[in-house]
Homo-oligomer: A and B are copies of this chain.
Amino acid sequence: MSQKKIAIVGASGYSGEELVRLLLHHPHADLTAVTSRQYAGQTVAQIFPRFANHPRARALRFTEPNVELIARHAQIVFLALPHGVAAEFAAPLLELGCQVIDLSADFRVKDPAVYKEFYAHDHPAPELLPQAVYGLPEWYAAEIKKASLIASPGCYPTSVLLPALPLVRSGLVKPTGIIADSLSGVSGAGRKAELDYLFVECNESVRPYGIPKHRHLSEIEQELSFAAKESVTIQFSPHLIPVNRGILTTLYLAPEKHFGDAAAMAELNENITRCYQSAYENAPFVRLLEGKALPDTKNVVGTNLIEIAWRLDARTGRLIVMSAEDNLVKGASGQAVQSMNLMSGYPETAGLI
């Protein structure tokens, strides 16, 4: 299988670094360009010593981001840039014939008005929205395979959508009243020199933030609405916890059917199991836990996996679903590479196991 030439624009943050790691070791990727205003001129090995033993990391130098130059050197371009900025690169790169996988929020939300409501500025390239595909491979594989512009999902949305979508689509749970309570490691905040993310401010600290209206709600609600075929509003509460990586999400859902007795509960349990199994039987990165096992971020950190477990609570009539993922891999760069694999006809797991 031939290799493709790959560039990463904005490779100095945590998800950029993770992209570098994955693409340096990818059997079908030839990483030819990485850009960073801050580090231009330095090698990847100098900035990320953990890759220093890789010959390409020692040879490849960060450059200033220049669209023409990138397009000349790469067939596929990953954008690991802030929202608003990403769209400015996507448009000319597409025009120059590149395929673009954008890790920012710029193309995730289909409706420019919703984008403006959540991101507080006009959408920078609304004309590209129709062609953008939401890069959740377990859900949109067919579209991803034909796409030239991928809007790779956010870390929180992935942790909510993969456990929630099959249930909502199947009608097993009500699409209303859903609550997602999420805990994220500090790398989710990015490599930003801000007091709030200093070691001393995060270690031995746990705190909610962005409550009640976090930006990621926009894409979560959009995708749940598509699945439910009606407009869905959910409750989403993110918290910051002192780990480097990992998101643990706990979902509170209301089954459509009451399960007052043991028989009804057993039947519902079986339906949920079947719903998940049929949704994910061919999904190499979704692990449905069995028996007494519950998700634990330490089981998935460094991998592109998401763990999912659920419990019915006869006392409250609710369904609790829990998921664990690595926010930088399945929640960002790993998922983006998974889309690249699909777009390029590579095995979905190439470079990800």
Contacts and interface: CB of A to CB of B under 8 A. Distances in A.
A63 interface: no
Contacts of A209: 294
A5 B53 CA distance: 29
Contact of A248 (B207, B213, B289, B303): B207
Contact of A191 (B186, B198, B243, B250): B198
A201 B296 CA distance: 10
A52 interface: yes
Contacts of A353: 25, 53-54
A242 B243 contact: yes
A252 interface: yes
A25 B353 CA distance: 9
Interface string A188-229: 000111110111111111111101110000000000000000
A293 interface: yes
A27 to B, nearest CB: 12
B50 A299 contact: yes
Given A53-B284, A313-B235, A315-B213, A207 B295 contact: yes
B193 A194 contact: yes
For chain A, give the interface size range. 35 or more
Contact of A241 (B242, B293, B313): B242
B234 A316 contact: yes
A14 interface: yes
Nearest to A179: B252
A208 to B, nearest CB: 5
Interface of A: 14, 25, 49-50, 52-54, 177, 179, 181, 183, 185-187, 191-195, 197-209, 211-213, 233-235, 237, 239, 241-246, 248, 250, 252, 284-285, 287, 289, 293-303, 305, 307, 311-313, 315-316, 318, 320, 322, 324, 353
28 contacts: A49-B293, A49-B296, A49-B299, A49-B307, A52-B287, A53-B287, A53-B303, A53-B305, A181-B181, A181-B237, A187-B200, A191-B198, A193-B198, A199-B201, A199-B203, A199-B242, A203-B244, A204-B245, A204-B246, A204-B301, A205-B243, A206-B296, A206-B324, A208-B294, A212-B312, A233-B316, A242-B242, A242-B243
